[in-house]
Structures are given as C-alpha cells and as structure tokens.
Amino acid sequence: MVVERKCGVPKFECTEYMGRTRDYVVLIPIINEGDRIHKELKRAKEHGVSDHADIVICDGGSTDGCTDENTLKSLDVNTLLVKQDEGKQGAQLRMGIWWALERGYKGIITIDGNNKDSIEDVPKFIEKLEEGYDLVQGSRFIKGGKAVNTPLIRLLAVKLIHAPVISLTAHQRFTDTTNAYRAYSAAYLKDDRVQPLRDIFMTYELLAYLSVRATQIGMKACEIPVTREYPPKGKTPTKISFFKGNSNLMKILFRNARGAYNPR
C-alpha cells in the first residue's frame, strides 16, 4: 500500500506482515545497513522483544537487500515502511511516527539499525512509559550504562558540547543526547505544543527537538541505562560524515537552543 504525501508526512510504501499486536512499537530507521540490521533483529528475537512491542523498519530506500521480505518476517518484523520522498532520518521518523499514531500505539521507541545499541533493553523503556514518563532517553553514561569503544572525538563532543547545550535548553540534565535510542509517549507526540510532523525535520533536527520539548512544556522525562558498542576496529557504522555531518549537527543544536523548531 502506498501512502501519498501529506503535510508533514512523506510519501511512503507500507507493507504490513501482521496487524498491531502490542501497545508499543519499535521504529528502526535504516538505509543500506546490510547485515548489521539482521544481527540487531536476531538479538531482538533472542531476547523476545516482539513479545513487548511490534518491530517496524523505517527504510530510507535501501538497495543492498537488507529489507528482503522473507528475512524480515523470519526475524519478527511486523511492518516495513519505505520512504519514497525527500529527506533523511527526520523524514523516516516522521513517516514512522505518523503511521504508529494512526495505528493507535500508546508509545514509540526509536533505535538505530546499525547494531550498536542494546535492543534487548526495549522492555525497560516501556516500563518507564507505563510509569507516566513522556520522554525516556537511553544513556550509556549513567550508572548501569555501558559505553564500549566510543570514538574519542564523539565522546568529547557529547560530554563537552552536545549534552550541556541540550540540558540547558531542556531545563533538565541529560547525558547522552546524540543517542537515538529513546521512547516517546503518544500523548507527547500528539500535543499541539510539539507538532513533530512538520517538513522542517528532514535530517537530525527532530531528534534534537524532541530531546528538549517535553520538559519545556512540563512533561516528565528521564534517562535509563543502555549499552552502545562500537566495533573495536574498522569503519565506524554511522551516516554522519566527519566534517559536513558534524558541522550540520552543531548548527541544528544551536538552532534548537534558540527555539527555531518550536511551533509558531
């Protein structure tokens, strides 16, 4: 089924392997993740993640075969969404958020699809949503969390720049603010003071914005410990280029601090 473009939602193709089975959904944005996404989904299956939440792939248009239907179905994927429009991660997430809210989920967990994060911790996010939190941020830097093989430049950027600026903007301390492993309540995403389904969120703007907006409008937010593990050697699995990508992240960070993404 093709869902035509609408205000704030890109055009996309939706292939449902089954209907909604849980109250919560895990959205995994990917593009050409190869075997990394399959390894992540295998871990999810081994730990029974689909017993707690439906697993949905938000694909940006992969061409490497990583979204093979038989493979995804065998790994307990509930639905495949494929963006057919402009935009990068922000557009993929808007596609997934709109679809998830239309389907009636109570909350959404997001996680990268490059097998760096502890997907087995999904039930812990759900526990916090059930306790009434609207934003649950995964952190490798708090007690119980693990940061494994984190590149030094990334470690310094998060601890010295990104986390302090996000914390000041949110009026609450956060420690792992570039981490996309987090959860949102449906109430947060549907609040008129938030409005995540806007075309200004094309790349990484939405992650920065949703990190701070909850506490700005008086909603409850917290961090929980997670593991993020980079490969001990070889190329770092990321879609962010060293110079241009990190420069854009900094621009987004400070635009967010100025309230540039708040609804008008």
Q: Could you report the per-residue pLDDT of 111-133, keeping only the tens digit for each?
A: 999 999 999 999 999 999 999 99
213-242: average pLDDT:
82
Identify the band that residue 238 occupies on the pLDDT scale cut at 50, 70 and 90: low
Q: DSSP assignment of 31-92, as one string?
A: SS-THHHHHHHHHHHHTTGGGTSEEEEEES---SSTT-HHHHHHTTEEEEEEE-SS-SHHHH
Average pLDDT, the chain: 94
pLDDT of res. 180:
96
140-148: average pLDDT:
97
What are the extents of the domains in the chain?
A: 10-257
Whether 241 has a pLDDT exceeding 80, the answer reads no
Pairing of strands 12-16, 77-83: antiparallel
Whether 203 has a pLDDT exceeding 80, the answer reads yes
% pLDDT > 90, the chain = 89
Q: Around Cβ 184, how many Cβ atoms within 10 Å?
A: 26
Identify the band that residue 248 occupies on the pLDDT scale cut at 50, 70 and 90: confident
pLDDT of res. 243:
46
Identify the band that residue 44 occupies on the pLDDT scale cut at 50, 70 and 90: very high
Whether 21 has a pLDDT exceeding 80, the answer reads yes
pLDDT of res. 249:
85
Whether 234 has a pLDDT exceeding 80, the answer reads no
CATH 3.90.550.10 assigned to domain 10-257? The reply is: yes
Q: Around Cβ 53, how many Cβ atoms within 10 Å?
A: 25
- If you compute the radius of gyration of the chain from its CA atoms, what whole number of angstroms results? 17
Residue with tokens 């593009």: 31
Whether 263 has a pLDDT exceeding 70, the answer reads yes
Partner residues linked to 25 by β-bridges: 54, 108
Whether 225 has a pLDDT exceeding 90, the answer reads yes
44-50: average pLDDT:
98
Identify the band that residue 245 occupies on the pLDDT scale cut at 50, 70 and 90: low
Q: CA torsion 48→46→97→115, rounded to 10°?
A: 150
pLDDT of res. 264:
86
Give the residue among 82, 54, 254 at the shortest CA–CA distance from 161. Answer: 254
71-89 residue pLDDT tens: 999 999 999 999 999 999 9
Residue 233 CB partners (closer than 8 Å, separation 6+): none
